[in-house]
Chains A and B, each alone.
Chain A
Amino acid sequence: MAKEIPALPNVSTPGTPVIFNPEICNGCNQCIENCQVDVYIPNPRKGKPPIILHPEECWYCGCCVNDCHRPGAITFNWPLAQRGYWKNKASGKISRI
């Protein structure tokens, strides 16, 4: 445990509309351009995934994920309150995103 921790305000939520995989993402920043609300900014470290700066402005259109050229680099991440359910018709088993 660190002895000193920063004092930070509460963060805006939902706060993580996507999850980047830094192993696959090459920091091309196309997702930044495809976002109509400017959720992201480029990472100061070249080649790294963008920084999610305005997550609460996201409207979950999915364009950043849909148009990404590197499968797996960016994954859609629904807010907890909005994850959908389904039921297997034969077994009745209920599942959720």
Chain B
Amino acid sequence: MTTWQDYYKEEGRAPAWPYPIKYEQEQEIETDILIIGGGIAGCWAAISAARQGLRVALVEKGDTVRSGAGGPGCDHWCNVPANPLSNVDPDEWAEHMASVPYSNGIGIQIQCREDWDTLQEMELIGGKIRDTKDEYVGAIGRDEKTRLMLSPRYGVANSYLPAPKSPPIFKSNPDRKRNNVVLRIWGTSFKPALKRECKRLGVKIFDRVMGTSLLTENGVQGARVIGATGINNRTGEFMIFKSKATILSTAGSGGMWIIDTEVGGLCYMQSRTKTGDGMVMGWKAGAALTLLEASSLHSIGGGYKHKWYTGAGDASYENVPLVDANGKRLPYPIQGWEDAGAMAPPAAVVEAIREGIRKGEYALPFYGDFPGMSDVERRATWRLMLSEESTVKIIVDTFNKAGYDESKDLLQSYKFLEGNAPPQWRDPGRGGLVVDWNLKTSLDGLYAAGGQMFSPQDHSFCASTGRYAGRKASAYVKEISQGKISREQIEREKARVYAPVRRTAGMDWRELHAGIARTMQWYCAEYKTDLLLNMALDNLRKIEEESVPLLYALDPHKLMRGLEDLSLLTNAQIVLHASLARKASSIPLGFQRIDFPALDPPEWNKFLTIKLENDRVKNEELPVGFWGNMKQQYEAHNKDYAGVYKK
């Protein structure tokens, strides 16, 4: 008996809901710091705040032990220029990273200065960051003394593409040695260690609770944030958190673009839970957001789940030479030592391969030539890099159990078999909350970390900015008292949250999700115009007026899914408002306006911000580099930073 159908056949009835139902019941929690989102950023924020001796509550929609994009694993600690093997100055590398248009200079500077300290703390609490068992002696990049494992990634420049013809020359690395800014790590050990440490430090963890709204002083939009509401997705209990400071650290809203379980399982690089709840909470409270118009093709975790990250094996990614069906090597970069960490092929190479396929020069299918690699490099790739990354451990294990032997067998690649993924499969990626050098949002009492900020980077960025936000929110909390909660605001939220469980029929959450996704696929996709974007807004309004009142939920789990859809709906509306505001096209933003075709005209080279004021959309802007001189600002705001935590 494994599926509910099996149970039904055996018992003659469906299983009863296994958790006590507590709809409308309230649980009130008072804390100094509230963190919403228990992924990598949230856990680090909790640890950092708890070390300051404060009361910390951590709210997580899943279970903190394996939740979030980084829950299953992580193979690269990217951009750690302060590591002892680095050949480049952290501040200079930060400037280089932030030279990418519309990047987040604040988060990048924090990452470059502090993520080596964060990684050392990770080791102290039980994460594995070195080859302590000497499994990879002789691998390129393994340092004998420290047993750290360097990655070839970003050896020449911070880019997924092969080395540019005129690579940057760093003052701190005049001899152009490899930059050595990325380390390989054993990230499958990280998340359980983070949860253990949170518990050890007395963090109150609320697993299976979805944050639903922020509470503001006297219930006023734009006022200081003084807590939040949530719902337990197993019991339906209503949670009221009163806090002096709140840190948002939930995921983005990748799920807004697709719901399709038949083609490839439900996955957009992150799980179904990626619904942008934090962004919507901040938005409704009046916080400013930016870059929501930047929606880009989701090239790694495309529609079909043949990619490493998204559920099945594909050797067309990372470190493995690709060969055709006759064993002929393809001109595809391998992100290895030989091509300086290139991950993605230049467009010209992709086209040359496609042309070669059409002419019969390259025979499909293609394969990853694991047997052609040296033994130690093959193991470092298959067993360390791939196994430790994201959801790949189970993929590697499943292949091996089925008889795949990486020393003898070529692993099939699907990239060119599939052709181009449909363009509507996207991820909003870069949009998020505007923050300052304290990672404070535009609202008092509200902080953001990791993927909740605009232009976030990856795992180590989330870890180091989470740790930093916890520190800064703690400093704020020591200066301030609890705010006054508005009962009316709570009642309004309870009415919204419980509406779907008052109905037993109507529209299922999956149909609502599909309707929102289709609207975005049709009217906010590859090509945008004012007309199309407004048609999307009109349709979403229609969905709000006609379909949302039909949304029903038969249990707390489905209630959560329905509330997630409402998050996606609001996220979609924010994306549309942001897209309407940018009257120009942009290559770095992946943003094409048919009615405003000029590409990156200088007057539009700025951050457009968007927020609610008295429930009306207000558009403002910030100049590029609004954070000032990164090194100076970081140092001015962190005079008391003490480095690796010592009790």
Using CB atoms and an 8 Å cutoff, list the residues of chain A in contact with chain B. 6, 8, 11-16, 18-20, 22, 33-38, 41-44, 48-63, 65-67, 76, 78-79, 81-90, 95, 97
CB of A14 within 8 A of CB of B261, answer yes
Q: A57-B272, A59-B265 are known contacts. Are A87 and B410 too (CB-CB below 8 A)?
A: yes
Interface residues in B, total, Cβ within 8 A? 69
Q: A6-B8, A41-B15 are known contacts. Are A13 and B312 too (CB-CB below 8 A)?
A: no
Chain A hits for B399, CB < 8 A:
84, 86, 97
CB of A60 within 8 A of CB of B261, answer no
CB of B411 within 8 A of CB of A83, answer no
Interface string of B394-427 (1 = CB under 8 A from A): 1101110011100011111000000000000000
Complex Cα gap A89–B327 (Å): 9
CB of B398 within 8 A of CB of A90, answer no
Complex Cα gap A19–B6 (Å): 12
Q: A84-B313, A86-B410 are known contacts. Are A66 and B266 too (CB-CB below 8 A)?
A: no
CB of A58 within 8 A of CB of B266, answer yes
Complex Cα gap A43–B1 (Å): 9
Interface string of B422-454 (1 = CB under 8 A from A): 000000000000000000000000000000000
Complex Cα gap A35–B192 (Å): 13
Q: Of B60-68, B338-346, B478-486, which stretch is located at the interface?
A: B60-68
Q: A34-B65, A79-B265 are known contacts. Are A97 and B2 too (CB-CB below 8 A)?
A: no
Q: A60-B265, A82-B311, A90-B408 are known contacts. Are A33 and B63 too (CB-CB below 8 A)?
A: yes
B244 within 8 A of A: no
Chain A hits for B234, CB < 8 A:
38
Identify B66's interface contact among A8, A34, A43, CB under 8 A. Answer: A34
CB of A63 within 8 A of CB of B261, answer no
CB of B1 within 8 A of CB of A49, answer yes
Complex Cα gap A90–B7 (Å): 47
CB of A11 within 8 A of CB of B5, answer yes
Q: Main secondary structure on chain B at its contact with chain A?
A: loop
CB-CB nearest in chain B for A88 = B409
Q: A11-B5, A52-B2, A82-B305 are known contacts. Are A36 and B404 too (CB-CB below 8 A)?
A: no
Task: Give chain B interface residues in 375-409, CB to chain A under 8 Å.
Answer: 390-391, 393-395, 397-399, 402-404, 408-409
B267 within 8 A of A: yes
Chain A hits for B403, CB < 8 A:
95
Output the least CB separation between B432 and chain A (Å). Answer: 21
CB of B63 within 8 A of CB of A52, answer no
Interface string of B51-67 (1 = CB under 8 A from A): 00000000001110111
Identify B15's interface contact among A35, A44, A76, A90, CB under 8 A. Answer: A44
Chain A hits for B17, CB < 8 A:
41
Interface string of B1-34 (1 = CB under 8 A from A): 1111111100000011110000000000000000
CB of B8 within 8 A of CB of A60, answer no
Output the least CB separation between B205 and chain A (Å). Answer: 12
CB of B63 within 8 A of CB of A34, answer yes
B273 within 8 A of A: yes
Chain A hits for B266, CB < 8 A:
56-59
CB of B3 within 8 A of CB of A51, answer yes
